[in-house]
Chain A
C-alpha cells in the first residue's frame, strides 16, 4: 500500500518538474514549434504503456502456470492501467496529429495497434464483469490477455504493410540534448505513476477477490439466498 502511494506521489512530482521544464525551459522545436511539446508526455506514455502491457502479459502466463490468485489481481490491475494509458495515448496522438498531419487519425501501424489493443482490453474487462465465478473469470481473462498480447505484433506488422506515415520512434539518441531532461523526467514520472496505479489497483483487486472467496458470514442468510 505504502509503496503504491510513494510511487504515485513521486510520479506526480517528477511529471510536474518534467512538464515545467518541457513547457517553459526547453526551446521550441524548429519545424513543429510548440506543438512538439506534447511529446514530453506522449513518448513517456507510449514507453510505459508497453511496459504495463508486457507485465500484464507475464502475469497472465504466470497465473495459468501457478493458479495463484495474486497474479489474477495483477492481471486485472494491468488491464485497467494499460487501458487508461492506451486511451491517453490515442488522445495525445490525435491532439498532436491534427496540427501536424492535418488529420485527427491516421492508419499508421503504431496508432492502429494501440487502438486495437485498447478495444481488446476493454473487451476483456467487459468479460470480467459478466463472469461471476472468480476462478473462471481469472482463467478466462488470462487466456484472453495472452491471445490479445500475441496479436499485437501481428497487428503492428500487418498494418505496417498496409500503410505507413508515423515518424520513426524517438529515443534519447535521436532527440537533441536540450530535450533530454524533460523527456527523461517525464518518462520516470509516468513510470512511477503507472506502476503506482498498478500496485494500488492490485491491492484493491486482491481484497475484493478475498471478499468474494470468503464464506458467507451467517448460515441463515446464505440459505435464504439459495
Chain B
C-alpha cells in the first residue's frame, strides 16, 4: 500500500528523485563528530517549543489579572497541563543551551569560513531571536520573578544616552511594566518572532544543503583549495550515507535531549523555578534578590561592573557585531583551530569570562 502512495506522489513531484538525492546519495564526510547533530537538535528543540507552546496558548490568558491564574489552572486543573508547561519551560532553557553549544562547536571547527559566512550570520541572528523568545516568554506567567526580571532587563537599554530611554519606553509600552508590556511581549512571543525564526531557519538550512556539509579540519579529509572563486557544492562521494548512519546519530541525540529534559522535570523540577516564580506579580513589592534569566546574567553583570554605563553597553554591542560578522573579519585560510593558538586563546578567554560573569551575576 505504501508503494502505491509513494508512486502517486512521485508521479506528481518526483518524490523518488528527492529521496534519492537527499537521503540515499547524500553523503556525510567520514570525520564528522557528534557535535554535528547539534543543529538538528536545535530544530527538534524548537519543534517541541512550538507544539507545547500552542497547547499552552489554548488555555493561557494574556492579561495581568488572569495570566497567573491561567497558568496555575494549566498546572493544576487542566489534565496533563503540568506536563506541557514544564516541557515548555525546561525546553526553553535547553534550547538556548543547545543553540549556544552549536555556535561554540561550529566556531571551534571553523565551519563558518568562506563560503559559509551567510550561514554563520543567519545562525547568529537565530541565536539572538532565541534569546528574545526567552525574554518575552519569561514575562508571560506574570509572577514576581517575571515582573521584576523584566523590569530590570527593559531598563538595561537606558544605558544609551538620548535613545536609551525611548527604547526602554517602546519595549515596555510605558514607564513601568504593565498590561501593555504583557500584550506586546505576548504578541512578540507568539506572532512576531516565530515567522522570523522560521524564515531564518529556512535560509540557514537551505544554505547548508546548497553549499554542502563542511568537514572538520581534524581528520584526514582536506577542505577544497582556497580561495573559492566560483560556486561548487561540496560533496563527499566516499563519505558515509546520510541514511541510516547519520540519521541514527541524530535520532539517538534527540532521545538524549528528551531524556535530559525529563530528567530535569523529574529530579530537578525547581531548577528554573525559584520560589518567586510561584507567587503572583506585585508591582509594589520588590523581592530581595532579583536577577534576569541565566542567559542574560553575563551582560547584566558586565553592565553592573563597568562604571560608565554607556561604555558598558557599547562594549557588548560591539562584541555582538563582531560575533555576527566574524566570518567576514577572519579571512585566514587556516581552518584548524588547533593550529591557531591566538584565536583559540581569545575565544576560550571570552568563553571563560562569559561563564565567570554568569556566576558572578548570580550573587
Report if A and B associate in a common complex: no
Binding site for A on B (CB under 8 A): none
